[in-house]
Copies of this chain bind each other. A is one copy, B any other.
Amino acid sequence: MAAQRILILGGGGMVGQKLAARLASDGLNGRPAGEVTLFDLGFPENGAPAAQRLTGNVTDTARMAELAAQRFDVIFHLASIVSGEAEADFAKGWHTNMLPMWHFLEALRAEHEATGGAYVPRLVFTSSIAVFGGPFPDRIGDDFLSAPLTSYGAQKACCELMLTDFSRKGILDGVSIRLPTICVRPGKPNKAASGFFSGIIREPLNGLPATLPVPDSVRHWVASPRAAAKMLTHAAEFDTAKLAERRALNMPGFSCTIAEQIEALRRAAGQSAVDLIRREPDETIMKIVQGWPRDFQTDRARALGFEAETNFDEIIAIYMEDDLPHASARQ
């Protein structure tokens, strides 16, 4: 049986790279992932292995149609601008995070029709818990409405709806996975409002000071980069007939407070690491974070075999195992 041809849109980003590395080591559907093509604006040096690295932008409709014409067996769509940027630049957000999905789905439909309906790729789309907006119940269940309070969330929710409808029509076999906050993100601090969730662990483990802009009581929904990569490959492997046309899934994670994160850091690296965290309350960040979901009941995804960590000690251990050895080289 031939190895599957795989495309990762956004393959140069942190999650895309973790996914490419996992495909190289573990394959897909019990087979080696022979040909993995990464597509992104750019790629890290010494990045994950891939057969091809293509530089380009999802907003380039002609280019995306060329990619569609290559008829990959499995497509991971991870490409988007981040929440903060989509909020700051309204037009860029919609033109990057929503409209290219429409054009790409149409390009895939053209391939489907050109093959008399034989070409039906698996398409795994990384959506986000940003599709939810408050007020929330204590735990968000699988039937809770998408009422996003950011442009990023609205764009992701639109993409989910389109992907589901194209799938219902048999044009492709899509699934949207709503990822938790990914923690601990490796690499340098970024400007995302959620950056401190990773920063207060990553920086102290690297002997660097970190800033905590919110109170210890703040609760959020997290999973590791390793878990995210595994969710993506599982989303490409499982039997989508079980979705019964509800093709957007809240991914497992676990709900923890900043205080619990800090206690886990203390257990992993001692009080000297915890002492590197400086409390600098930031009203703006606090306000953004208050709008985010804090806890989920992810029965559907768990029944379908999706998994995540269950405590923060595990999350820290994964960072120390997967990323800490390379941290200084990358920073």
Chain A interface residue count: which class? 20 to 34
B143 touching A161, Cβ below 8 Å: no
Q: How far is the CB of A59 from chain B (nearest CB, A)?
A: 15
**Residue from B151, B154, B161 within 8 A of A148 (CB atoms):** B161
- Which residue of chain B has the shortest Cβ distance to A171 in the bound complex? B90
A145 touching B145, Cβ below 8 Å: yes
- Which residue of chain B has the shortest Cβ distance to A149 in the bound complex? B245
Interface hits, A154-193 → B, CB 8 Å: 154, 157-158, 161-162, 164-165, 168-169
Known: A90-B169, A161-B158, A165-B154. A144 touches B147 (CB 8 A): no
B149 touching A146, Cβ below 8 Å: no
What separation, in Å, do the CA atoms of A137 and B145 have in the docked complex? 14
- In the complex, A71 has a CB within 8 A of chain B: no
- In the complex, A84 has a CB within 8 A of chain B: no
B146 touching A144, Cβ below 8 Å: no
B165 touching A148, Cβ below 8 Å: yes
A158 touching B162, Cβ below 8 Å: yes
A144 cross-chain contacts in B, Cβ below 8 A:
143, 145
A245 touching B147, Cβ below 8 Å: yes
A146 cross-chain contacts in B, Cβ below 8 A:
145-146, 161
- In the complex, A49 has a CB within 8 A of chain B: no
